[in-house]
């Protein structure tokens, strides 16, 4: 069973979290290449990582996205206390903000399975099972990555969790954004995921109450462990994001 180091970064600047992901990915890739080139000196595989966090208001645009899916100009971004980044994940535009569980798995899929589509389905399934614990039936829409409520009804379908990943030498980064208590008004300033005819929702909107974020995180972690057949271990290391 693989061990995954878990760390909750709390509320953290988007660029700082992105840089930290890149650092962890580079470490794993470097260790893989060293072991491949010098198998006789092969040491213990570096552990995988799972980061949870929330971000101050930010819009991110993936490699396949269109910049005109952001409906704000520079001045309006400032008025909404938001920033914008073009980033190196797949997918189109999305929003991150307080009250949203953003998950960044940095996993070496060589030690799980070499199938990025299966990886995305596993992430979706963890969210689907978490929602089921709150009495919400969620599912997928064919050809549209994400977790949806009322997916079978095009007029009512609404996304509760978005996904966008990058994979380098079978090591993943970026991940998912699960709307729990997030301010949904911020989604009005984009065409979410580049899909103009689908709504966005949150767990708090569906249930009509504010959720305990730590409770939701705990349930989500448990389902990720079960689906990926791994063991989450708290990462005791400290990170200095002040620089």
Query: Which residue numbers are catalytic?
Result: 193
| Backbone angles phi and psi of 220, in degrees to 5 | -65, -45
Each residue of 103-122: b (16+ CB within 10 Å) or e? bbbbbbbeebeeeeeebbeb
Q: 16: Cβ–Cβ under 8 A, 6 or more apart, which residues?
A: 241
Q: Which residue has the tokens 């073009």?
A: 86
Whole-angstrom distance between the N-terminal and C-terminal Cα of the chain? 36
The neighbour count for residue 63, using CB atoms within 10 Å, is: 13
Sheet hosting strand 93-96, strand order edge to edge: 83-86, 58-61, 93-96
């Amino acid at each position: 069973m693989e061990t995954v180091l878990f760390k909750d970064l709390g509320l953290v600047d988007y660029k700082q979290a992105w840089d930290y992901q890149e650092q962890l990915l580079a470490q794993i890739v470097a260790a893989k290449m060293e072991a491949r080139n010098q198998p006789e000196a092969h040491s213990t595989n570096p552990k995988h990582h799972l980061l949870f966090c929330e971000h101050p208001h930010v819009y991110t645009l993936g490699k396949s996205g269109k910049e005109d899916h952001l409906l704000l100009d520079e001045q309006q971004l400032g008025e909404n206390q938001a920033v914008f980044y073009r980033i190196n994940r797949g997918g189109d535009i999305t929003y991150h903000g307080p009250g949203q569980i953003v998950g960044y798995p940095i996993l070496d899929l060589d030690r799980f399975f070499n199938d990025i589509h299966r990886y995305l389905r596993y992430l979706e399934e963890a969210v689907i099972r978490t929602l089921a614990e709150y009495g919400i039936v969620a599912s997928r829409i064919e050809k549209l990555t994400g977790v949806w409520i009322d997916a079978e009804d095009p007029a009512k379908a609404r996304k509760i969790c978005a996904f966008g990943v990058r994979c380098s030498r079978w090591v993943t980064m970026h991940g998912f954004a699960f709307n729990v208590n997030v301010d949904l008004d911020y989604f009005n300033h984009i065409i979410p995921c580049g899909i103009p005819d689908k709504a966005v929702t949150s767990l708090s909107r569906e249930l009509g109450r504010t959720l305990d974020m730590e409770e939701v995180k705990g349930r989500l972690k448990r389902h990720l462990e079960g689906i990926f057949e791994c063991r989450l271990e708290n990462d005791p290391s400290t990170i200095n994001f002040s620089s």
